Structure 1
């Protein structure tokens, strides 16, 4: 097995055992495009979500990538089915903090925080914010969340394809290139990976796309 380097650290490449692909957490980041925090939270909640078991290879946790893909597709399907019915009790004007927003919508606890960085189509802005030591807490009303849920679940129905939306990471990369014209792509990719998650390799690819928007 030939090692590669991520953020200056040696990391194993994907393993092929009996014709099956096994990936480490870093491989999963590349494979899925999700951040380390999102994948870590899915693993942390494995007792509730039936996340596939890990296989220890060379002292490092790996997952069967095909098994993981099948599990995640089923996990998403179950979430969509569960999302058809949500809590519609309470005062429509009540302002809810992120944890209560996630509970109302039937989402994982960390998902509302992820929405701040990469909001889905139709996600409402907060009605107010409160500062806390690590940033701000965003409040939304029950009515906002009910409206968002109903709109999101109408998208793509009746056989209509859902239009793909621009990758917000490209604009982040464009801004970074414009702000730091003298820095190398590697340096900018490392800084973006540290700030926004995902790997340096992923951000290098996004920066390549972002350069087209600077011409």
Structure 2
């Protein structure tokens, strides 16, 4: 864990310890950041770190999204091994990354209990019990409509007054009067890391707040 600008910054190993979820799950959440609203990182010592408070708020909302599991078929033998065709029919609602789309495994997708080698492909079998456990895990995303979690966008939260980067942006604006937002943002990015676009949004927000 690192401390910068009065904030705690966590790398992926720290997030694993903090959340209790595995590295594969967190990597997949980061991979799907364009659709789930995953917060942006900051490079510290050439390693990606995330503002722990902002990330924890986002993760809690992502984990606690409203879900509809009414379409899950909970009948049958828990130990029955289901091939892909039966998995697709086992739920009436199959969102993206569901049991019917194993090529892109969703978070916490269970390992197969049996693999059948066919002439042109492999066929993986998973038990009903595995699938029930998976759909009941909030991180799986099963039963949600997709998109980022409800509530304020984490990027918008990062631009609030509590964010110490706003103070840095305000100080930079005062030190460089008359400079364009992009120029101030470039100087802040060079000094403190993160992208110029990120700092440009923060500089713009700081300028708006100064005019209020």
Q: TM-score range by the shorter chain?
A: 0.3 to 0.5
The answer to which structure, 1 or 2, has the higher relative contact order (CA under 8 A, 6+ apart) is 2
- TM-score normalised to structure 2 length: 0.42
- TM-score normalised to structure 1 length: 0.41
Greater helix content: 1
